[in-house]
Amino acid sequence: MSLLLNIRHDLKKTIVPFFICLIFCHFLLYPHSIFAQQYQSTIDDQKKDIIAQELFADINVQQLIALANSKKLSQSKKWWALLHYKKNISGIKSLVDDPKFFLAPDGKYNPESELEATIRFLYSYNDKENPVCRFMARYSWLKKELGAVSPHETHCEKLQEIISFKDDMSVHLIFPTGYINSPASMFGHTLLTVQSQYNPGLLSSAVNYAANTNETFGPSFAFKGIFGLYRGYFSIQPYYSKVQEYSDLESRDIWEYKLNLNQDEVRMMLFHIWELDNIYSDYYFFDENCSYNLLYLLEVTRPDTHLTDNFFFWVIPIDTLRKVSNAGFIENKAFRPSRTTLIQYLVDHLNKQQINAIKSIAKGNNPLDVINHYSFNDLEKVQVLDCASEYIQYCYADKQYSQKEYQTIFINVLKLRSTLTNTITYSPPAPPPPEDGHYSSRINIQMGSFENDSFTELSYRPSYHDLCDDTSGFVSGSQIIFGEIAARYYWDTQKIQFQRFDIIDIESIAPINPLIKPLSWKIITGFERLPFKNNSELLVYQLNTGGGYAFSLTHWFQLYGMVEFSGLLHNDFENNIEVAPGASIGLLLQPFNKMRLRFHVNDCYYMFGESFNYITIKTIAQYNINQRFSFRFDVNYWHHEQWYHQFSGSFIYYFW
């Protein structure tokens, strides 16, 4: 089903059957009326959908090509946006990889050749397909630039359907926040919705770009995604199904941004979506990904915005959102909380008895018996049943119920809730929007002292966020670091050394509440210099994983603890490897808006080679000035047969 058919679907469901019935009755009563004759004539006209070849006699294709060349249309921003052309070190190349998208043999690499082939295709006789229907966006633009109408236009049903659609359409950019439990979604995601009077909100159509894969093996998915071994396609789905996926199943809050596109721009976007139907581009996890390719749908409406320019080795959804915002596309925004966010908000306003009642109802006990067991007033009853209905749906999405169990428990709650007339509006406060967060890459200049030896350290982090960065616009309690690298220079010994390379450093500190108890976890791997006996700093390869629970003592004070496993590799170790069980505890504090504090203690007992205890204590205080700048202070201690200490201060610059 086409996008526009989706938009008009609800209207047709009611109006079309009515008119079919009316026409049928009219034919029965007045079989020879003028109306009946006109209707039959329309049917006959539709049978004559073959374009006569003589209609092209007055079209001079060579003249149109000459006009296009004189106007240098092949070098225009619009043409490059429509064909997804980019310059690289080897020349010009379209980022679309499907041969079906190009008409010229060298069209992927030659804008001028592809333009000439497109003009010939659109303005020449064709008895096999309608060229305008195949490339509606290209035709719409060339018609305006060349002042020439193709005879194919009036016979393109889809084009006429979009042009003749009278209801105003609006486009929304959708940003589901990061889902840290999925490698493909931990940075967030972007998609578009197209809404109209008959398909508003959740009933609208969602336009999404994603890799076409059923891969479930994580390492294979990562390898193929990194090296472009998947094909990416645009798809159209009901928006409510995406909300169910993101908000209900993955517990992701959603931001919805209404864009200020006019109707001509919306139509151009729809034309381009139609051109890209069943057309693939190689999907790359780091750059040519979902968010980057989605930018082309907006760039074709306003080529001067250069939305797809100035990205380098990676594209992160929050950066594309910020770029759309800076280009002036956004009219307004709205926050759609996930089910877990709503449950947390409800729990914060309930007393202990209400929580116990919800737990009892969720176990399958009769809601009426549970409610009557407590002396709740009507308002408290409504709160209990409202929260219970949300919690039961959460448990079902979490596969804690069979479908039969879920239906029985959920319907019993709804039946009892329907007997209470009180209505309460629950509105969890919206956090700062994603585009207000810090930029995703950073450079850190650090000066300090290790064992009284002064040093200066320079580090670079390509992405993305750590627990002491400003949480505005990011998932609270999440740390996602890829590829951070650091080098250090010791002033006293005049020695420069490679200090660390964090391949992956991911932590999820998710506080439990009386109803939902998520697991907090971490995985860290990479190279790091650690102090060992005899004042030596060994560059070890480490793997550190752990899991546990976190608790919110107040809204600004969190405590967490984990059971851990640690492994170290270095040729100075006996058997070259050390493995250890361990444990850690930590505190996260935000005493005021721009200040973040973290205290962390880790204790591991290595036992595979040499047996020894290793303790790490880290204290971090970071003051986040704005999206671009922060100051940071670190105090670190390590213990291996003796204590080692380090004090430092850092200046942090965020960019991109």
Dump pLDDT digits (tens) for 398-416: 999 999 999 999 999 999 9
* Structure confidence at residue 628 (pLDDT): 96
Domain assignment present for 425: no
What does the alpha-carbon distance between residue 324 and residue 332 come to, in Å, rounded to a whole number? 13
Boundary of a domain, candidates 131, 161, 191: 161
* Structure confidence at residue 585 (pLDDT): 98
CA distances from 285 to 288, 293, 332, 466 (A): 7, 12, 29, 21
Question: Is residue 24's pLDDT more than 60?
Answer: no
Q: Cβ neighbours of residue 148 under 8 Å, at least 6 residues apart?
A: 59, 64, 123, 142
Same domain, 32 and 67: no
Q: What's the one-letter identity of residue 303? A: P
Same domain, 207 and 317: yes
What does the alpha-carbon distance between residue 198 and residue 167 come to, in Å, rounded to a whole number? 9
Question: Is residue 1's pLDDT more than 80?
Answer: no
Question: Is residue 3's pLDDT more than 90?
Answer: no
- Under the banding of pLDDT at 50, 70 and 90, the label for residue 31 is very low
Same domain, 345 and 449: no
Q: Calculate mean pLDDT across residues 28-41.
A: 32
* Structure confidence at residue 593 (pLDDT): 86
Domain assignment present for 572: yes
Residue 264 has a CB neighbour count (10 Å cut-off) of 10
Q: Calculate mean pLDDT across residues 460-484.
A: 92
Location of structure tokens 């009563």: 29
Residue 615 sits in a domain whose CATH number is 2.40.160.40
Question: Is residue 36's pLDDT more than 70?
Answer: no
Same domain, 284 and 360: no
CA distances from 249 to 102, 134, 342, 398, 622 (A): 39, 37, 14, 7, 34
* Structure confidence at residue 184 (pLDDT): 62
Higher pLDDT, 19 or 98: 98
Domain assignment present for 252: yes
SS3 state of residue 168: coil
What does the alpha-carbon distance between residue 564 and residue 605 come to, in Å, rounded to a whole number? 11
Domain assignment present for 426: no
Q: Which of 22-36, 77-91, 135-149, 331-345 has the lowest mean pLDDT?
A: 22-36
DSSP secondary structure letters along 563-606? EEEEEEE-TTSGGGEEEEEEEEEEEEE-SSTTEEEEEEEEEEEE
Same domain, 183 and 312: yes
Question: Is residue 59's pLDDT more than 60?
Answer: yes
Beta bridge partners of residue 529, listed in sequence order: 539
For 587, phi then psi, to 5°, come to: -125, 140
Structure tokens at 52: 């006569």
Q: Which of 246-250, 562-566, 579-583 has the lowest mean pLDDT?
A: 246-250
Boundary of a domain, candidates 321, 336, 351: 336
Same domain, 23 and 70: no
Boundary of a domain, candidates 319, 336, 353: 336
Location of structure tokens 């749908």: 297
Q: Which of 220-234, 380-394, 611-625 has the lowest mean pLDDT?
A: 220-234
Same domain, 442 and 581: yes
Instruction: Write out 1-45 in H/E/C secondary structure.
Output: CCHHHHHHHHHHHHHHHHHHHHHHHHHHHCCCCHHHHHHHHHHHH
Q: What's the one-letter identity of residue 83? A: L
Question: Is residue 41's pLDDT more than 60?
Answer: no
Domain assignment present for 128: yes
Same domain, 146 and 269: no
What does the alpha-carbon distance between residue 84 and residue 171 come to, in Å, rounded to a whole number? 21
Contact 531, 572 (CB under 8 A): no
* Structure confidence at residue 310 (pLDDT): 87
Q: Calculate mean pLDDT across residues 333-348.
A: 95
Q: What is the per-residue pLDDT across 162-200, written as a single tens digit (0 to 9) for each?
A: 888 878 899 999 999 987 776 667 788 999 999 988 888
Domain assignment present for 422: no
Give percent of the chain above pLDDT 70.
91
Domain assignment present for 4: no
Domain assignment present for 199: yes
Q: Cβ neighbours of residue 111 under 8 Å, at least 6 residues apart?
A: 74, 75, 79, 80, 83, 85, 92
What does the alpha-carbon distance between residue 488 and residue 498 come to, in Å, rounded to a whole number? 6
Contact 84, 280 (CB under 8 A): no
Beta bridge partners of residue 585, listed in sequence order: 561, 601
Same domain, 179 and 324: yes
DSSP for residue 310: S
Higher pLDDT, 54 or 114: 114
Structure tokens at 264: 């001509």
- Under the banding of pLDDT at 50, 70 and 90, the label for residue 91 is very high
CA distances from 233 to 164, 208, 227, 291 (A): 28, 8, 17, 12
Q: For residue 89, how many C-alpha atoms fall within 13 Å in the half-sphere facing its CB?
A: 1
* Structure confidence at residue 218 (pLDDT): 60
DSSP secondary structure letters along 597-619? EEEEEEEEEE-SSS-EEEEEEEE
Contact 159, 132 (CB under 8 A): yes
Question: Is residue 611's pLDDT more than 50?
Answer: yes
Q: Which of 38-52, 384-398, 417-431, 595-609 has the lowest mean pLDDT?
A: 38-52
Taking the chain, what is the end-to-end CA distance rounded to the nearest angstrom? 38
Question: Is residue 28's pLDDT more than 50?
Answer: no
Please tell me the total count of domains within the chain: 5
Q: Calculate mean pLDDT across residues 203-232.
A: 80
Angle formed by the axes of helices 290-299 and 317-326, nearest 10°? 20
- Under the banding of pLDDT at 50, 70 and 90, the label for residue 327 is very high
- Under the banding of pLDDT at 50, 70 and 90, the label for residue 217 is low
Contact 243, 254 (CB under 8 A): yes
* Structure confidence at residue 51 (pLDDT): 74
Location of structure tokens 């670091």: 481
* Structure confidence at residue 219 (pLDDT): 67
Residue 318: name the closest of 503, 505, 465 by CA: 465
Residue 512: name the closest of 477, 485, 551, 563 by CA: 551
Q: Calculate mean pLDDT across residues 421-437.
A: 92
Higher pLDDT, 358 or 1: 358
What does the alpha-carbon distance between residue 343 and residue 380 come to, in Å, rounded to a whole number? 15
Same domain, 316 and 194: yes
Contact 194, 207 (CB under 8 A): yes
Same domain, 532 and 579: yes
Q: Which domain holds residue 288?
A: 170-336
Same domain, 565 and 466: yes
Q: Which of 53-62, 78-87, 291-300 has the lowest mean pLDDT?
A: 53-62
